[in-house]
Amino acid sequence: MAKSYDVAIIGGGPGGYVAAIRCAQLGLNTACIDGWSDEKGKPSLGGTCLNIGCIPSKALLESSEHYHRINHELAAHGIQTQKVSIDIATMMQRKDEVVKGLTGGVAMLLKANKVTHIHGHGCLLDGRQIKVTPVGKGKKSETIHAQHIILATGSQPVELAIAPIDNAQIVDSSGALKFASVPKRLGIIGSGVIGLELGSVWRRLGSEVVILEAQEEFLSMADRDIARDALKAYRGQGLDIRMGARLLATSQTKKQVTLTYSDSNGEQQLEVDRLVVAVGRRPATEGLCAAASGLLINGGGFIHVDEQCETNLPGVYAIGDLVRGPMLAHKASEEGVAVAETIAGGSGHVNYDTIPSVIYTNPEIAWVGRSEAALKAAGESFNVGTFPFAANGRARAMNSTKGQVKIIAHSETDRILGVHIIGPGASELIAEAVLAMEFSASAEDLARTVHAHPTLSEAVHEAALAVSGAALHQVKR
Ligand code: FAD
Ligand code: NAD
């Protein structure tokens, strides 16, 4: 007889494994089927995020930031250094150990919560059944049954036919996380989050980085003031970002990749040693469901879901990168928790209006809520308060004064509608703004909240004061 579970989850990334833990906490007999294998063929839970995404990229951002700081920023503090060198193999080994520690931690958490972890490939059949094909030779497929099913198979990089990935000279983000040496000239297609974060890593380590971006508008998802400051900062760091650049063709020799692209000046050529294709990600649905399952997949390849993440099949849910909304780990996890609570009879809910976005470059960029342009387009009436890090004591002590905090609040209710930060610690500072918006705070609520001195968070405080023209450490113009 087929094994039966209360809940079966296909995918063990931040959506799937978090859903599994929450289901188990709520007393549901839960299985999590995940197909990821490490280089030795062993299971490695945590999905894209832990294995080839959020975590390894942040490990390399951290290492490269240390190297850059020693070479370029310590002299201002009076610290003299001898010639500093970089050992890429050790840097990569540290990154791999960070990943291993965390993926192992997820396996331990599933075990401790008595979640059945199956290392295999899941395919949704009809009647809430899943065909499970275990990873490894000679192992037999089995069919399991579950009262509820959660699909959480994540996403994959979008490929460009004119720049096919060969995992040698032309790579996707995974390849760019394991270069064995620093490329002299690195080309990147796409100035999105991956292009900027991984471009920063290799630029800091010494590559000449050229980023070709098809759109005319830089970081179109961010507030315009923040995007303008960001472009200036990145270009100042030597990231050669070329906007309105459409890739037309690539050709390769043993040593180089030649890119042909067009921009406002006509057709151009660029030679690079390595090329990273970072033009977005698409939902991973291949092999996920048999036609007979009747699962509805919409035009963009995303699985169709309602507000509660339920698909067109009752009792079958889909979460994370597979469904509408931003492709972010914390969004996937929150959906996992909400679906688990719904299944257990509660009222799971995700507030999509307060999902923070972060770009982990230097300066960091973070935002929550709506941009000034989006609010204008929606005909909202609002007030804006800004505060530069150059006027913040802690930022000056750190010698890290680039950037600003911008708070947008409704002109009548003063309710905070959006917070946009570029500058030191933005990834942590945004949490206060998310909490404020979650509690429907007004700018005055933030302005009347005591912030420790001297901290970067005082810039958030001052921006909140500035909404009503009351910033204390800024001359009113
Ligand atoms: P995934 O994490 O993709 O997990 C899906 C899992 O399902 C995988 O283990 C996969 O092997 C498995 N699977 C797929 N098909 C099947 C099947 N049929 N059967 C069994 N298993 C299957 N987001 C952030 O919020 N912050 C960041 O800093 C960040 N950095 C990133 C950096 C990079 C380089 C990349 C590529 C992504 C980054 N992201 C970041 C995005 C983040 O990784 C994703 O949004 C997140 O991992 C999505 O989680 P998920 O659970 O939906 O899917
Ligand atoms: P993205 O959507 O952020 O950026 C892709 C960029 O490529 C866009 O600017 C797009 O205009 C450009 N582009 C598309 N086709 C092009 C072409 N043919 N030529 C030139 N430019 C082209 O995608 P990404 O950077 O690949 O990241 C994928 C996803 O991963 C994102 O949705 C993001 O949410 C997630 N991610 C998040 C983080 C983070 O939260 N810090 C970090 C990395 C990745």
**Ligand 2 contacts CB of residue 196 (under 6 A):** no
CATH 3.50.50.60 applies to domain 4-156+282-350: yes
Averaged in consecutive runs of 10 residues, what is the pLDDT profile of the chain (477 residues)? 93 98 98 96 97 98 98 95 95 98 98 98 96 92 97 98 97 98 98 98 98 98 98 98 98 96 96 98 94 91 97 98 98 98 97 98 98 98 98 98 98 98 98 98 98 98 98 88
pLDDT at 276: 98
Sign of the C-alpha dihedral computed for residues 459, 359, 416 and 476 taken in this order: positive
Q: Rounded distance, CA 30 to CA 18, Å? A: 12
Tell me the catalytic residues.
453
φ, ψ at 220 (rounded to 5°): -60, -20
Query: Which residue in this structure is represented by tokens 């890119």?
Result: 259
Nearest to 421 by CA among 477, 368, 361: 368
Is-same-fold flag (4-156+282-350; 170-279)? yes
φ, ψ at 277 (rounded to 5°): -100, 115
pTM of the model: 0.98
**Ligand 2 contacts CB of residue 327 (under 6 A):** yes
CB–CB of 335/306 below 8 Å? no
β-pair type (404-410, 416-423) = antiparallel
pLDDT at 475: 87
Cβ atoms within 10 A of the Cβ of 219, count? 21
Nearest to 453 by CA among 397, 384, 388: 397
**Ligand 2 contacts CB of residue 217 (under 6 A):** no
Q: To test ligand 2's pocket by mutation, which of 54, 61, 194, 231 has the most ligand atoms within 8 angstroms of CB?
A: 194
Which residues are 155's β-sheet partners?
Answer: 283
Cβ atoms within 10 A of the Cβ of 77, count? 9
Nearest to 54 by CA among 469, 360, 465, 394: 360
CA of 117, nearest ligand number = 1
pLDDT at 136: 87
Where exactly are the structural domains of the chain?
A: 4-156+282-350, 170-279, 354-466
**Ligand 2 contacts CB of residue 241 (under 6 A):** no
pLDDT at 139: 87
pLDDT at 97: 98
**Ligand 2 contacts CB of residue 193 (under 6 A):** yes
What residue owns the CA closest to ligand 1's atom 12? 11
The CATH architecture of the domain made up of 354-466 is 2-Layer Sandwich (3.30)
Which residues lie below 8 Å from residue 227, measured CB to CB, with a gap of 6+?
217, 218, 219, 220
pLDDT at 289: 87
pLDDT at 185: 98
φ, ψ at 16 (rounded to 5°): -70, -45
pLDDT at 138: 85
pLDDT at 212: 98
CATH 3.20.10.10 applies to domain 170-279: no
pLDDT at 338: 98
CA of 326, nearest ligand number = 2
pLDDT at 292: 87
Ligand 2 centroid – CA 129 distance (Å): 35
Which residues are 269's β-sheet partners?
Answer: 260
Ligand 2 centroid – CA 191 distance (Å): 7
